[in-house]
C-alpha cells in the first residue's frame, strides 16, 4: 500500500467582494442579522465580465497548488472535482479544468456530494493512490453558488458565495499524509437543501421559458440541528480510527457554513476555537470550496507544521458528511 500525501494547496476567489451592508439594498436583511446568525461579513461573488467561471476559478486555484507542489500538469493522472455548479451539465468540470491546465495525462471527473464534495473527492483520490492506480491527483472543490441562488430569497442569498480550492496529492512510501477518510450520507433528508429544478426534474412547461430554473431551497434551521451532530460524530470516528484524542489535533478545518455550527462542533469535541480555522467572515458559505480554501489559507499563513494532525470535517446537501485526518507533510 502507498500513502497519499498533500504536497501543494491553492485557492482562488472572485474579485468582487459583496458586503452585508450592500445586501441590505437587495433583500430585507441587515448586517446585524447576518453577522449574528451566521458570522458572515463579506463574500466573493463572480462576475460574468471577469474570467470567473467555475472552470476559471478552479484552474487558478489548481495552478497555485501545482506551483507549490512543484509539478507540471503532465504529472497529473487524475483530476477529481467536487462541485454542484459545473459550467455545464456536461462535460464535467473536471474535463474543463483538464483542458484549462492542459493536463493531458489525467482522467477527469466530478463528484456531487454537496458541501462534502471536496472531502469525498479527496477520499477517492486517497484510495486510488493507496491501491496504486494513481500516482498524482489534483483534487478540487469549486462553486459558483451565486448562479443558483434566488437573489430574492434572503434565507439563502446572504449566505452562499463563490470560490475554489485545490490540493495536489501524491503517492509516497513514507508514513503520514492522509491517515483516514470517512464518508456518510442520508438521502432521507434530501429536501433540507436542494436545487428546485434542473435536469430531469425541470417541468416541461419551463423548458422553453427564459427563466433561471436552478434555484436553491434550504431549511436552515433543521439543517443546523443535524449539522453539529453529524460533524461531531464523524470527527470522533476519525480520531478513534487513528487512536488520537482532541488534544492530539493541531488544527480543525471545518466546512464554513455558519460560525455557530463551527463553535458547536468545537465545544462538542472539547477543542478550543484557537485550534479551529475559520474564514467564514470573509468568504461566506462556498460549499465544496470552503475546506480547500481554508486549508490553503491556514497553510500559507504558516499554521501547519510537518507532523501536525489536521482534521478536516464537512456536512452538506444530500445529506452528506465526511472527515479526513491528515498528518501534515509539506
Ligand atoms: O452548507 C451546508 C449546509 N448548510 C447549513 O448547515 C446551514 C445551517 N443553517 C444555518 O446556518 C442557520 O439556520 C441560518 C443562518 C440559515 C438561519 O439561522 P437561524 O438562527 O436558524 O434562523 P431561522 O431560519 O430560524 O430564522 C429566524 C428568523 C425568521 O424570522 P421569524 O420567522 O422568526 O420571524 C426568518 O424569517 O430570521 C428570519 N430571516 C432573516 N432575517 C433577516 C431569515 N433569513 C433572514 C435574513 N435577514 N437574511
Q: Is 116 in the pocket of ligand 1 (CB under 6 A)?
A: no
Q: What is the pTM of this model?
A: 0.96
Number of domains making up the chain: 1
The predicted pLDDT at position 213 comes to 55
For residue 221, the CA-to-ligand 1 centroid distance in Å is 6
For residue 38, the CA-to-ligand 1 centroid distance in Å is 8
Q: Give the pLDDT means over successive 10-residue stretches in the chain (330 positions).
A: 96 98 97 98 94 97 98 98 95 98 98 98 98 97 95 95 98 97 98 84 63 78 96 98 98 98 98 98 98 98 98 98 97
Q: Is 197 in the pocket of ligand 1 (CB under 6 A)?
A: no
Where residue 98 sits, what CATH number does that domain have? Answer: 3.40.47.10
The predicted pLDDT at position 48 comes to 86
Q: Which residues are catalytic?
A: 115, 255, 285
Domain that includes residue 46, residue range: 1-330
Q: Is 41 in the pocket of ligand 1 (CB under 6 A)?
A: no
The predicted pLDDT at position 104 comes to 97
Please, are residues 210 and 187 in contact by the beta-carbon 8 Å criterion?
A: no
The predicted pLDDT at position 69 comes to 98
The predicted pLDDT at position 166 comes to 98
Query: What is the number of alpha carbons within 13 Å of residue 208 lying toward its C-beta?
Result: 1
- Ligand 1 pocket mutation, candidates 19, 224, 225, 318, criterion most atoms within 8 A of CB: 224
The predicted pLDDT at position 1 comes to 80
Q: Is 189 in the pocket of ligand 1 (CB under 6 A)?
A: no
Residues 6+ apart with CB under 8 A from 155: 218, 220
For residue 318, the CA-to-ligand 1 centroid distance in Å is 19
From atom 25 of ligand 1, which residue's Cα is the shortest distance away?
221
For residue 36, the CA-to-ligand 1 centroid distance in Å is 10
Q: Is 217 in the pocket of ligand 1 (CB under 6 A)?
A: no
The predicted pLDDT at position 98 comes to 98
Amino acid at each position: 500500500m502507498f500513502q497519499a500525501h498533500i504536497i501543494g494547496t491553492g485557492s482562488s476567489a472572485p474579485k468582487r467582494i459583496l458586503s452585508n451592508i450592500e445586501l441590505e439594498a437587495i433583500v430585507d436583511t441587515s448586517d446585524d442579522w447576518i453577522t449574528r446568525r451566521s458570522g458572515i461579513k463579506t463574500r466573493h461573488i463572480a462576475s460574468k465580465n471577469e474570467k470567473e467561471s467555475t472552470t476559471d476559478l478552479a484552474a487558478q486555484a489548481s495552478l497555485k497548488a501545482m506551483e507549490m507542489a512543484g509539478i507540471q500538469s503532465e504529472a497529473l493522472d487524475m483530476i477529481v472535482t467536487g462541485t454542484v455548479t459545473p459550467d455545464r451539465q456536461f462535460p464535467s468540470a473536471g474535463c474543463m479544468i483538464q483542458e484549462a491546465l492542459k493536463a493531458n495525462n489525467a482522467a477527469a471527473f466530478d463528484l456531487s456530494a454537496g458541501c462534502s464534495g471536496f472531502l469525498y473527492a479527496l477520499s477517492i483520490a486517497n484510495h486510488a493512490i493507496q491501491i496504486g492506480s494513481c500516482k498524482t491527483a489534483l483534487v478540487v472543490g469549486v462553486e459558483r453558488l451565486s448562479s443558483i441562488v434566488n437573489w430574492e430569497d434572503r434565507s439563502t442569498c446572504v449566505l452562499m458565495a463563490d470560490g475554489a480550492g485545490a490540493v495536489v496529492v501524491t503517492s509516497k512510501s513514507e508514513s503520514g499524509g492522509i491517515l483516514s477518510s470517512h464518508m456518510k450520507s442520508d438521502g432521507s433528508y434530501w429536501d433540507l437543501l436542494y436545487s428546485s429544478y434542473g435536469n430531469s426534474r425541470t417541468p416541461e412547461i419551463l423548458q422553453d421559458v427564459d427563466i433561471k430554473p436552478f434555484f436553491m431551497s434550504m431549511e436552515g434551521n433543521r439543517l443546523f440541528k443535524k449539522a453539529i451532530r453529524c460533524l461531531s460524530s464523524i470527527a470522533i470516528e476519525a480520531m478513534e480510527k487513528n487512536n488520537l484524542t482532541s488534544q492530539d489535533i493541531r488544527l480543525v478545518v471545518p466546512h464554513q457554513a455558519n460560525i455557530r455550527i463551527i463553535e458547536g462542533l468545537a465545544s462538542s469535541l472539547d477543542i478550543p476555537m484557537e485550534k479551529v480555522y475559520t474564514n467564514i467572515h470573509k468568504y461566506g458559505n462556498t460549499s465544496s470550496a470552503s475546506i480547500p480554501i481554508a486549508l490553503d489559507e491556514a497553510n500559507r499563513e504558516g499554521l501547519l507544521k510537518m507532523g501536525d494532525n489536521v482534521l478536516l470535517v464537512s456536512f452538506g446537501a444530500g445529506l452528506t458528511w465526511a472527515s479526513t485526518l491528515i498528518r501534515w507533510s509539506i
